[in-house]
């Protein structure tokens, strides 16, 4: 080896060591940097663990939200369903400017209290704050476009009602956690048909099928709305019931309620007048009084002393259009004689009258799937005046649903039916029901109901619909007020049945505080408003229900 080579060797070795040292230092620096980042991520993960747990528990805990089955009408048409909708929440720790965030959010959601929202967003000790639940996709996009860090979304189950206010009283409503608070929605929870929601998963259970027919509901609702305008009524209600099964095919109370609008449920004018309100129904109660007389052995031709008004203490009971002579039982019904009805009740006696009302289910509260129902308002004792007034529909306030059920029993051959809002399959349960009147009494009642519509003097003649054999009875009752009755405020009602020769349905129509019009000759009696409204309704719904018109 040359001297030059020996001298060059040590210099080359020293120059190769320096780059390796620098590489090790650089790798160490990079490793430390990654370690720092990893440590920070671990720290943040630990810091967020409790908040994540809170969010998970609030958003998907079985204790919070329920998944509900669909609700459909008897023909499978959708009335209520669950959908997935985004809900907006905030993580205050990630909100950079609580004041600005609150102000910008309130521009989108004016209903939110800006001060309360600002305080919540500024509270860095909180990791979860609901801002707005159940947003439409369009609104969620508007929130997203704000670009505010710390605003986040989660999918939730929300209840929707495609028919809006149609059927709203029956369906009820749910709360913010999709739990039923009234009507069929509450009933679904009571029978265990709903289930704890896991995330936003929809229920896979079979739909709950109601007895309602959406087409009949629509026709009934539209005709009642028209009647309110035509007669300037403050409210209206009506129902259609199957006399053999007790199924409520349609039930409408106007003004209605939208199950999705919380404020509707708080408005007292939107009460369910069919199942939740009690009223003195007036002369339609004479159907019950005549039924009681027939059960005691009278015939439609039996004579009743109606020549003079009835006296009861300081009270005098008179007819609106007195004939001044005795009437037959049939005439008492057709001319709607208060004196005649009072005489029939007095001849039966107080004990018999009370027992008959009890047997028909008019003396106690009625429970259905929709509600427990209010208790009837009834006299504490039945003396002479109470016997008389009960006979023509004053002194006893019941729900229209109760009276319709009693009428169904009187029309179907005499067997009690239990009103239901659930669709029934198979044989009609009427064959298993309690007999409340004889088949003879039921047949005679159907006959006199039909006479009241076909007789030129009948109060129900304007309810006739050619081809459908309508029978019925009018009722015009002064509405109760504190300390007495309001003379100019009446409840006009009509109880109808069709076809009267072999009834399948009963209808009950009520108009609250109608006004006299040119079309009614200035009168406000039920024969001039509730009866023709019934005719319009039956003409529309009979074909929908498969009831054929008979050729004349």
Task: For residues 30 and 106, state if they share a domain.
Answer: no
Please identify, among 153, 174, 207, the residue that sits at the C-terminal boundary of a domain: 207
pLDDT at 313 over 90: no
Please identify, among 177, 207, 237, the residue that sits at the C-terminal boundary of a domain: 207
- Residue found by looking up tokens 């663990």 in the block: 49
Task: For residues 150 and 232, state if they share a domain.
Answer: no
Q: Which pLDDT value is given to residue 31?
A: 62
Q: Is 238 within a domain?
A: yes
Res. 59 pLDDT band, cuts 50 70 90: very low
Task: For residues 18 and 73, state if they share a domain.
Answer: no
Q: Is 47 within a domain?
A: no
Averaged pLDDT of the chain: 89
Task: For residues 372 and 421, state if they share a domain.
Answer: yes
Q: How many residues would you count in the chain?
A: 552
Task: For residues 258 and 130, state if they share a domain.
Answer: no
Task: For residues 190 and 237, state if they share a domain.
Answer: no
Q: Within 13 A of 84's CA, how many CA atoms are on the CB side?
A: 11
DSSP 397: B
Task: For residues 243 and 183, state if they share a domain.
Answer: no
pLDDT in tens, 230-283: 999 999 999 999 999 999 999 999 999 999 988 888 898 999 999 999 999 999
How far out from the chain centre does Cα 455 lie? 38
Task: For residues 125 and 21, state if they share a domain.
Answer: no
Residues assigned a catalytic role: 283
* 457: CATH: 3.40.710.10
Residues paired with 292 in a beta bridge? none
> Which of 43-57, 150-164, 179-193, 195-209 has the weakest average pLDDT?
43-57
Task: For residues 113 and 232, state if they share a domain.
Answer: no
pLDDT at 43 over 60: no
Res. 432 pLDDT band, cuts 50 70 90: low
Q: Is 55 within a domain?
A: no
* 149: CATH: 3.90.1310.10
Res. 201 pLDDT band, cuts 50 70 90: confident
Mean pLDDT value across residues 123-136:
91
Beta strands in 289-430 (DSSP E): 303-304, 310-312, 315-317, 327-328
Q: What is the DSSP string of 463-512?
A: G--TTS--EEEEEEEEEEETTEEEEEEEEEEEEEEESTTS--EEEEEEEE
Structure-block tokens of residue 358: 């009890």
Task: For residues 139 and 248, state if they share a domain.
Answer: no
pLDDT at 57 over 50: no
Task: For residues 199 and 222, state if they share a domain.
Answer: no
Task: For residues 113 and 223, state if they share a domain.
Answer: no
Q: Is 44 within a domain?
A: no
Q: Which pLDDT value is given to residue 51?
A: 44
Structural domain count of the chain: 3
pLDDT in tens, 78-122: 999 999 989 999 999 999 999 999 999 999 999 999 999 999 999
Q: Is 41 within a domain?
A: no
The domain of 119 spans 66-207
């Amino acid at each position: 080896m040359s001297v030059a080579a020996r001298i060059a060797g040590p210099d080359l070795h020293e120059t190769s060591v320096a780059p390796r040292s620098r590489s090790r230092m650089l790798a160490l620096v990079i490793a430390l940097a990654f370690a720092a980042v990893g440590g920070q991520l671990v720290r943040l993960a630990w810091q967020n663990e409790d908040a994540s747990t809170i969010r998970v528990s609030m958003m998907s805990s079985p204790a919070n939200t329920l998944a509900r089955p669909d609700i459909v009408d008897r023909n499978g048409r959708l009335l209520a369903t669950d959908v997935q909708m985004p809900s907006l929440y905030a993580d205050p720790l990630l909100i950079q400017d609580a004041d600005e965030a609150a102000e910008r959010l309130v521009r989108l959601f004016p209903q939110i209290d800006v001060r309360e929202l600002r305080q919540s967003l500024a509270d860095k000790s909180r990791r979860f704050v609901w801002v707005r639940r159940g947003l439409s996709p369009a609104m969620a996009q508007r929130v997203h476009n704000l670009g505010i860090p710390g605003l986040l979304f989660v999918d939730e189950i929300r209840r929707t009602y495609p028919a809006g206010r149609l059927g709203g009283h029956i369906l009820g409503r749910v709360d913010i956690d999709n739990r039923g608070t009234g009507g069929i929605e509450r009933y679904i929870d009571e029978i265990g048909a709903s289930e704890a929601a896991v995330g936003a998963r929809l229920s896979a259970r079979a739909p709950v099928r109601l007895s309602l027919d959406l087409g009949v509901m629509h026709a009934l609702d539209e005709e009642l709305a028209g009647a309110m305008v035509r007669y300037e009524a403050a409210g209206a209600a009506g129902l259609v019931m199957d006399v053999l099964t007790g199924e409520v095919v349609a039930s409408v109370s106007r003004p209605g309620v939208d199950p999705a609008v919380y404020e509707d449920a708080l408005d007292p004018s939107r009460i369910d007048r069919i199942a939740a309100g009690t009223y003195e129904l007036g002369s339609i109660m004479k159907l019950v009084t005549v039924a009681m007389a027939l059960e005691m052995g009278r015939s439609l031709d039996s004579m009743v002393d109606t020549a003079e008004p009835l006296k009861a203490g300081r009270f005098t009971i008179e007819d609106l259009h007195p004939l001044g002579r005795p009437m037959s039982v049939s005439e008492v019904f057709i001319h709607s004689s208060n004196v005649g009805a009072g005489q029939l009740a007095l001849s039966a006696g107080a004990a018999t009258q009370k027992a008959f009302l009890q047997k028909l289910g008019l003396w106690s509260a009625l429970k259905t799937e929709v509600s427990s129902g209010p208790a009837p308002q009834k006299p504490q004792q039945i003396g002479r005046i109470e016997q008389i007034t009960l006979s023509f529909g004053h002194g006893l306030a019941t729900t229209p649903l109760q009276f319709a059920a009693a009428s169904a029993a009187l029309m179907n051959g005499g067997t009690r039916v239990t009103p239901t809002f659930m669709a029934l399959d198979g044989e009609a349960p009427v064959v298993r029901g309690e007999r409340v009147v004889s088949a003879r009494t039921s047949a005679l009642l159907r006959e006199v109901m039909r006479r009241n519509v076909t007789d030129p003097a009948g109060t129900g003649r304007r309810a006739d619909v050619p081809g459908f054999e309508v029978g019925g009875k009018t009722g015009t009752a002064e509405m109760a007020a504190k300390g007495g009755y309001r003379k100019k405020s009446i409840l006009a009602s009509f109880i109808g049945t069709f076809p009267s020769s072999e009834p399948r349905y009963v209808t009950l129509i009520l108009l609250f505080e109608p006004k006299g019009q040119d079309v009614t000759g200035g009168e406000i009696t039920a024969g001039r408003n509730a009866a023709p409204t019934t005719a319009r309704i039956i003409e529309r719904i009979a074909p929908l229900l498969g009831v054929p018109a008979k050729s004349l």
